[in-house]
Structure 1
């Protein structure tokens, strides 16, 4: 996997197990690197995204998403928590038997759920739900977390609504010559406040995020079509092939021609 997932958020809890390679994780304005065997915990409502660590990084992973309503009354316990250790590193637990046990229990549940889903034996839905309960209990009891107040949850929801509008504007217009002022106007903010808000919430500037969205689109065209590089550069929103080539190499670590040839 070389193409990633641009910044987004959802109400679901997301747990990622890295099967191979490395991956960058952008989470609430912070950057992390996950390696083979690591487990990433994404709380409900947090802004996050994934990308490759560079050319030749053959990433593969499981992604498990579930809604908190699955746990009936206990969903409040999970909703009001923000886990302090978001990347559970397999290697970092080599000298920590307690941490290693937490990682082992979560990993065992993840692989059991995948096996149940693939085999689809009678009652596999129930088996998967049982493993999700096991994982939720491990997270609640053994992974350090802080409680989130109702007022913080409300502020997060309001922030996410603004970010939704910004992300939608960018993804609907990235192939045009859009300016920061236009994006700010779309969400009724001054360009100065917009710049500070976007950087603080995503860890990226508006222009760097816009470039990543454009390059991600170009990656899809390079991998899935035979469109000439010059044409797909313009279709992805770049005004010149020189700018496209420079930004493509900066973000992916390789050239468009090599990417198309499979050197990713």
Structure 2
């Protein structure tokens, strides 16, 4: 998604938050740290192939470049907080290359993010979260396997090419790997086929555009890689459970 993949690459201090409803997003990763807070309802978050169910007033801390997926469990209201590792430089330096055994925190009260109107207040809030995480759990060293690094490269290819013709054969040619090997590895690492993942990714991008742009449904379908509007409508309904127009009207 446009507000995900580019965040944190520039190595500048930033802090962004977004309240969202009926939110989900397929596997992705980024350099920025991410906090996902459930204001209402439930959410299923998978981080490095481990599933976590979040309830109301719970938050999950996702570390830099960890592959994660977000699935809604019924109606929910969530807030996504993205911030650069440099914003909590001391924590980033000490825990770079490590991962929390339990990244889920239960907050006593909902954070008032609109009041964090200075970098000092933002850092204070984030370091408090870091402190609670350190008090709650132990950390383990992250061993990045060749398969994980290869999956990173596949996901990056999709992010850069989903709006064009984008097939696993294109990925195999670009990365210079055998197609059968990539197909097997992708299913093993994600529990879905590449085609299913691509459609989920495209539809998630379409949801963002439906909520945040004035583009027509046809223009959005085209921008998200669909040459046939009928195919876009079918995939959108299969994944989201309603038509693109109904989704836009609800948001």
The answer to whether the 8 A contact 2:34-2:82 is kept is yes
Count of residue pairs the alignment pairs up: 230
SS in structure 1 at match of 2:34: strand
> How do 1:1-12 residues align onto structure 2 when only pairs under 5 Å count?
1=20, 2-12=22-32
Distance 1:162 1:220 in 2: 27
Which deviations, in whole Å up to 9, do the C-alpha atoms of 1:143-199 show, x marking residues without a partner?
2x34216xx2xx35x666544432332233323333211112211211122123333
1:227 lines up with 2:216 in the alignment? yes
Alignment RMSD, CA only? 3.3
1:129 lines up with 2:123 in the alignment? yes
Distance 2:89 2:160 in 1: 36
| Larger Rg, first or second structure (1 or 2) | 1
SS in structure 1 at match of 2:111: helix
TM-score of the superposed pair, with normalisation by structure 2: 0.72
TM-score of the superposed pair, with normalisation by structure 1: 0.69
The structural deviation recorded for 1:67 is: 1.6
> Structure 2: which 5+ runs fail to align?
1-19
The match for 1:50 is 70
> How do 1:1-264 residues align onto structure 2 when only pairs under 5 Å count?
1=20, 2-53=22-73, 57-63=75-81, 65-67=83-85, 70-72=88-90, 75=92, 77-88=94-105, 103-104=106-107, 111=111, 114=113, 116-118=115-117, 120=118, 125=120, 127-143=121-137, 145-148=138-141, 152=143, 155=144, 162-223=150-211, 224-225=213-214, 227-229=216-218, 232-262=220-250
Name which structure has the greater RCO, CA cutoff 8 Å, separation 6+: 1
Name whichever structure is richer in strand by fraction: 2
Name whichever structure is richer in helix by fraction: 1
> Structure 1: which 5+ runs fail to align?
89-102
